[in-house]
Amino acid sequence: MSPPRRSPALVDDLVEEILLRLPPDEPACLVRCSLICQPWRRFLSAPDFPHRYRTFHGAPPLLGFLHNVYTREKGPIYRFVPTTTAPPFSLPALEIGYSQWRALDCRHGRVLVERWNAKENLVIWDPVTGHRQRIDEPGILKPWWRWTHFGAVLCARRGCDDLNCNGGPFIVVLVVAVTPQRTVVQASMYSSETGKWSAPSSSVYVSIDDHSPMRGALVGDEIVYFKSQRGEEIIIYDLRKHCLSAIDSPSEYRSYSDGVLVVMENNSLGLAFITHCSLYLWLRKMEQEGVAEWTCCRVIELETFFPADKYSFPPRVIGFAEGVDVIFLARDACLFTMDLKSKRLRKVTEGEFYLNVLPFISFNTLVASLDHSSSSPLLHSPSLPPTSPNPQPNPSLTTMATAPPRPPPELIDDDVAQILLRLPPDDPACLVRAALVCKPWYRILSDPSFPRRYRAFHRAPPLLGFISNISVTKYDSIFVPSFTAVPFSQPKFYRHASRVALDCRHGRVLLHSYRKTNLVAWDPFTGDERHLEAPLHPRAWANFRAALLCAADGCKQLNCHGGPFLVVFVSTDYVHGVIWASVYSSETRNWSALTSLHHHGFIDMRPSLLVGDTLCFSLMKSNYILKYDLAVRGLELHSLPGVYKERKSILMTAEDGGLGFVGLDDCYLELWSFQSVFRGGCVESRVIDLKKLLPVVNPMISSYLIGFAEGTDIIFLSAHVDAFMIELKSGKVRKVGERGAGTVGQGEAYHTILPYMSFYTPDLAEGRFLAS
C-alpha cells in the first residue's frame, strides 16, 4: 500500500477570499470557522482581516435592537433582542440595586444609556468590545426635568463610514427641555477627545416628548433631526454650527403621533408613518428655488401582510435601521422587520408590546479575543444560521439615501468544495465544525458526492486512534483517539467482561470474548455488528489469531464500510504440532474448509501484516513467519534472520511497500526489509537512536514494540508502561498513553495496539454528524 499522501497546502489567498464572504449578519459564522482548524484561526485573527472584512462588505449589518420597558421591580430598563441566530455579545451588568436604566440612542456601534437619580447617569457602552465609559451630565440637565430630553451618540471621525468606529473618538448630543412646561429646549454636545460639554445652544420653542423618546436621524455627518412631542415640529441640531432650529412636519402627518424619522435618497430627511393600514414614506426635497418641501414618495399597502382578523390593534412604525433600509413595525404584541426594497416581512419576536426600538448596526470581527469556551454566547446556537436570500432591488421603487450593505458575492460551490476537500482527514471534527458554519457549507458537505471526492482526494485513510489490549490477564480493550472528539461510541459487546480486540483493518474491528467462542465484526462509524461463531476443529485450539479485511475487488480502503468482508482465523495445536486456518465470508456466511501445516509454535498476539494478497503472522518460539495466501487459500512458513527477536521486533511495511520489520537492539531501532518479498535475503535499511527521541532515562528498560500502522511508517512502543507513537521518517514522537491514566487501566502495561485507520465522512455518521 502506498503511504498516505499529505493534503495539498491550502492556498492562503483562496481561503481568505472564502472567509471574507461569510455573512456579517451572523458573527457566529466567523467564530465557528476559527474553531475548524488552527490555520483558519490564524487567518481570522490576523490584524488586517477585520479591516478587509469590513471593507469587503461595505455597510455594517443589523445584529439586533434595544428597547425600553417598564418593570415594577426596577422601573424603566432596557433590553437587547438579537436578530442573529446566536447572541452577538452579552449585556453589561449595569443594573445595580434599584437602578433605573433606559437606552437613548444606538449608532456607530455604541449605545447611549442613562440612569435615573445618579450623579454620573450617562454611560457609553460598546457591546462588541465590552468597553463602558461614564460621563458627567451637562449643566442644562436638571434633576427635576428628568426624562425630558433626546440623546444621540455619534462617531467623531470626519467622513465616518461606519466600518471601524470601535475604540475611536465619539460625541454625545443632548437636546433638553429647560422649562417645567417642556416648551423651550436647548442642546449641549460632549466630546470624548476633550472630555467636556459645550455651552448650551440657542433656544427653540417646541414641545419635547415626555415618555420613551424616539431615535433621531443622522443626515450626512453634520445634522441630527429629532421629532417633537406631537410630531408637529422636527428639531434640527447642526453639529458644526452648534445651533438648534425647527421645521414643520408634513401637514398630513400632524394628526398622527406615531412615526419615525428616516434617511432617504441623497442623504435627505424622510418620515415614515402609517394611516389606514398603509405605510407612507415622505421625503423632504429641496426645490430649485432653494425651498424644501415635503413630498410623498412611496406607499406600501399593509393589508396583505397583516390580515385584519388576526390582530386587534392597527400596526405602528417604531424604528428604522439606517443604512440597511429596514423598518420596524409593531402590531399587538408582535414585532416585525420589513425590508423597504424587497417588502420582505419577518417576525422578530412576540409576547411584548413595544413603544420604540433602537437598531444596533455594527460589525463583530473580534474573533481573536473571543472566549471559545462553552460560555461564549456566539457558540450557543439552537440551529444552523438561516440563509436569507439577497433581495433584488425594484428599480421602480424609491431607494434610500444611505448606501445599503453590499450583498456578498455568491459563493462558488466548486471553490468552497475545493477548500473543504483539504480539511485534514485525521481530525473528523473539522468537517463537523465546517458543516455548522452556514447552510451552504452544510449542503456541500452533505451532498452524496462529497464523501467520495474527499476520500479520493486524500487517497490513504488517516490514523484516527488505536484500540489497545492493555492486560494479558484480563484481556481488556480500550479505544484511544488521536484527535479531540470521538465520533463513535463503544458497541454493546464492550459491556461484556474479558473482551479482546483481535484485528483492526479497513474501517472495521474484530472482537472476541474468552467467555464465549463468538466473534464480532464491528464497524464503529455505522454501528453495524456482525456476530459469527468461531470455526470448529477436531482438537481444542489453545492459541489463535484472526485478521479482518475487506472482500471488495480492488479494495483501496476508500469506502469499505458496509461492504463484504473476510475473517481469516488461524490457530495452533502445539501438542500435536499443527497450525490450521479457515476463512469466513460475509457474503456466503460460511467458513471455508480447513487448511493446515505441521509446525510447533504459538501465534503472536500482535497484529498481522497484509502485503499484497498475503497475510503475515509472527510466531513465538519460532524463527519463522506464517503467511496465508488469500488467492490460493494456503499456509506457508518463511524463515526469519537471527536479528529478529520476539517482543523486540515487529513486522511492518517496508519503505518500498513490501515486507519488512523493525527491531530493538540496545538503544537503537533497526529497520529491515526483505528483498524479493519472501524469497530474498534481509537488508538493514536504517538505524534510529532512541535516546534522542524518547523522553525517558533508559528507553531499553521494559521496552517492547507493540504495534504498527499498516501502510505507513508509524510504530508503537511500550516503555515503562507508557505508550509512544513514533514516525520513523520524521522522527516525531508522541506519548499516546501513560501510567495511571483512566483510559489505560490504572497503570497496567500496554500489550497490543491495533491502529484504527478510516475516513470519517458525513455519509457514515447516521445522524451523529451534527450531534458530534
Amino acid identity of 70? Y
pLDDT for 388 equals 35
- Is 116 within 8 Å of 153 (Cβ atoms)? no
d(CA 726, CA 724) in angstroms, rounded, equals 6
pLDDT at 191: 92
What are the residue ranges of helices labelled H in 35-124?
38-45, 49-57
| Whether residue 289 has pLDDT greater than 80 | no
pLDDT score, position 412: 60
Show the 3-state SS of 378-416: HHCCCCCCCCCCCCCCCCCCCCCCCCCCCCCCCCCHHHH
Half-sphere exposure of residue 751: CA atoms within 13 angstroms, side-chain side: 17
pLDDT at 299 over 80: yes
Distances (CA, A) of 242 to 184, 340, 442: 17, 33, 53
Residue 569 and residue 582 in contact, taking contact as beta carbons nearer than 8 Å: yes
Of 277-286, 387-396, 423-432, 564-573, the poorest mean pLDDT is in: 387-396
Sign, CA dihedral 141-146-150-153, equals positive
Query: Which residues, 6+ apart, have CB-to-CB distance to 772 below 8 Å?
Result: 428, 429, 432, 485, 487, 765
All three cell numbers of 12, joined, read 492562503
Say what the pLDDT of residue 340 is: 87
Across 6-21, average pLDDT? 67
| φ and ψ at residue 666, rounded to 5 degrees | 60, -120
Q: Identify the three-state secondary structure at position 418.
A: helix
Going by pLDDT thresholds of 50, 70 and 90, the confidence category of residue 52 is confident
pLDDT by residue (tens digit) across 213-236?
567 888 876 778 777 766 678 888
**Number of CB atoms found within 10 A of residue 200's CB:** 16
CA-to-CA separations, 370 to 34, 110, 198, 644, 713, in angstroms, rounded:
10, 19, 38, 55, 39
Write down the pLDDT at residue 557.
62
Determine the angle formed by the axes of helices 38-45 and 49-57, rounding to 10 degrees.
Answer: 70
Sheet containing 682-689: give its strands across: 649-653, 659-665, 668-674, 682-689
Looking at the chain, the whole-number percentage of residues with pLDDT higher than 90 is 5
Q: Which pLDDT band holds residue 765 (cuts at 50, 70, 90)?
A: low
On whether the CB atoms of residues 672 and 642 are closer than 8 A, the answer is no
Torsion (CA) 88, 94, 97, 99 in degrees, nearest 10: -110
Residue 560, amino acid: C
Distance CA 227, CA 207 (A): 10
Residue 746 has pLDDT above 60, yes or no: no
| Residue 752 or 389, more confident | 752
Name which of 630, 671, 680 is nearest 650 in CA terms: 671
Instruction: Indicate the pLDDT class of residue 328, thresholds 50, 70 and 90.
Output: very high
Q: Within a 10 A sphere around the Cβ of 409, how many other Cβ atoms?
A: 11
- Start-to-end Cα distance in the chain: 31
Residue 349 half-sphere exposure toward CB, CA atoms < 13 A:
17
- Domain ranges for the chain: 12-56+382-457, 58-366, 501-639+761-767
Cα–Cα distance for residue pair 249/232, rounded to 1 Å:
6
pLDDT band of residue 747 (cuts 50, 70, 90) is very low
Run of H or E including 593 = none
Residue type for position 538 = P
**From CA 133, how far away is CA 94, in angstroms rounded?**
12
Q: Whole-angstrom Cα distance, residue 589 to residue 654?
A: 34
Residues 368 and 127: their CA atoms lie apart, in Å, by: 16
Which CATH number describes the domain made up of 58-366?
2.120.10.80
CA Rg, the chain, in Å? 37
With CA atoms as reference, report the closest residue to 63 among 109, 95, 104.
109
Residue holding cell 507513537?
725
Least confident of 46-55, 339-348, 505-514: 505-514
C-alpha cell at 621: 518460539
**C-alpha span between 662 and 649 (Å, rounded):** 6
Q: Say whether pLDDT at 745 is over 50.
A: no
pLDDT, tens only, 27-48: 888 888 888 778 888 888 888 8
Mean pLDDT throughout 480-497? 58
For 55, the 3-state DSSP assignment is: helix
Beta bridge pairs of residue 275? 278
Using the CB atoms, write b or e for 685-722: b if 16+ within 10 Å.
eeeeebeebbeeeebbeebbbbbbbbbbbbbbbbbbbb
For range 451-461, the mean pLDDT: 84
Helices (H), 559-675: none
Q: In sequence order, what DSSP letters do the residues of 111-166 get, joined into one string?
A: EEEEETT-SS-EEEE-TTT--EEEEPPPTT--GGGTT-EEEEEEE-STT--SSS-T
Average pLDDT of the segment spanning 314-335: 87
Cell triple for 566: 473476510
pLDDT at 383 over 50: no
pLDDT tops 60 at residue 493: no
Strand (E) or helix (H) holding 20: helix 12-20
Residue found under cell 466630546: 191
For residue 346, which phi and psi values (nearest 5 degrees)? -135, 130
Residue whose C-alpha is closest to residue 270's, from 253, 257, 287, 288: 253
User: pTM of the prediction?
Assistant: 0.57
Q: How confident is the model at residue 569 (pLDDT cuts 50, 70, 90)?
A: very high
Q: What is the pLDDT of residues 606-623, one digit of tens each?
A: 888 888 888 999 888 778
The set of residues, in sequence order, having a beta carbon less than 8 Å from that of 481 and lying 6+ positions away, is 464, 465
Q: Is pLDDT of 269 > 70?
A: yes
715, 761, 495: which is closest to 606 by C-alpha? 715
d(CA 737, CA 733): 12
Length of the chain: 772
Q: Which pLDDT score is estimated for 450? A: 87
Confidence of residue 744 (pLDDT cuts 50, 70, 90): very low
Q: Tell me what the mean pLDDT of segment 683-693 comes to.
A: 83
Is the Cβ–Cβ distance between 126 and 110 less than 8 Å? yes
Model confidence at 159, pLDDT cuts 50, 70, 90, reads low
Confidence of residue 117 (pLDDT cuts 50, 70, 90): low
Closest C-alpha among 645, 653, 646 to residue 616: 653
Q: How does pLDDT run across 64-105, given as a tens digit for each residue?
A: 888 887 766 666 677 888 888 777 777 665 444 335 778 888
- The confidence band for 466, taking pLDDT boundaries of 50, 70 and 90, is confident
Task: Tell me the pLDDT tens digit for each residue of 637-648.
Answer: 888 887 787 778
